């Protein structure tokens, strides 16, 4: 387990900046939507479809990052593993709606 080995690999910055920035931007959005839904908010169908698409894209990206970390780099990052479990939770929550 090593965060630095993963962070120094080319796949850690696929868009030219660290992949963690994507999580920093998208996780609060997904959590806010989930909390609003739990509070009884009703969103338009197009919005929920966009949220579902975002959750699916995030899940695919998380699977790719896990593959890169475990298979290609050969180490796991504890921080990344924790965030991927959040992403899986978001996907399950939107898929149930």
10-residue block means of pLDDT along the chain (97 residues)? 76 84 87 94 96 90 86 80 60 57
Handedness of CA 96, 68, 31, 82 (dihedral sign): positive
Model pTM score: 0.71
In a domain, 17, yes or no: no
State the pLDDT at residue 33. 94
Q: Which residues contact 59 (CB under 8 A, 6 or more apart)?
A: 87, 88, 91
**What's the total number of domains in the chain?**
1
Domain extent, residue 60, equals 3-11+27-95
Task: Report helix, strand or coil for 57.
Answer: helix
Q: What whole-number distance in Å separates Cα of residue 69 and Cα of residue 67?
A: 5
State the pLDDT at residue 91. 54
Q: Which of 59, 53, 72, 58 is nearest to 11 (CA)?
A: 72
In a domain, 22, yes or no: no
State the pLDDT at residue 52. 92
State the pLDDT at residue 4. 77
């Amino acid at each position: 387990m090593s965060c630095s080995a993963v962070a120094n690999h080319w796949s850690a910055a696929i868009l030219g900046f660290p992949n963690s920035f994507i999580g920093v931007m998208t996780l609060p959005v997904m959590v806010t939507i989930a909390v609003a839904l739990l509070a009884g908010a009703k969103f338009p169908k197009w919005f929920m479809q966009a949220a579902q698409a975002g959750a699916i894209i995030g899940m695919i990206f998380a699977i790719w990052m896990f593959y890169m970390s475990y298979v290609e780099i050969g180490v796991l990052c504890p921080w990344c593993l924790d965030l991927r479990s959040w992403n899986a939770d978001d996907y399950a929550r939107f898929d149930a709606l």
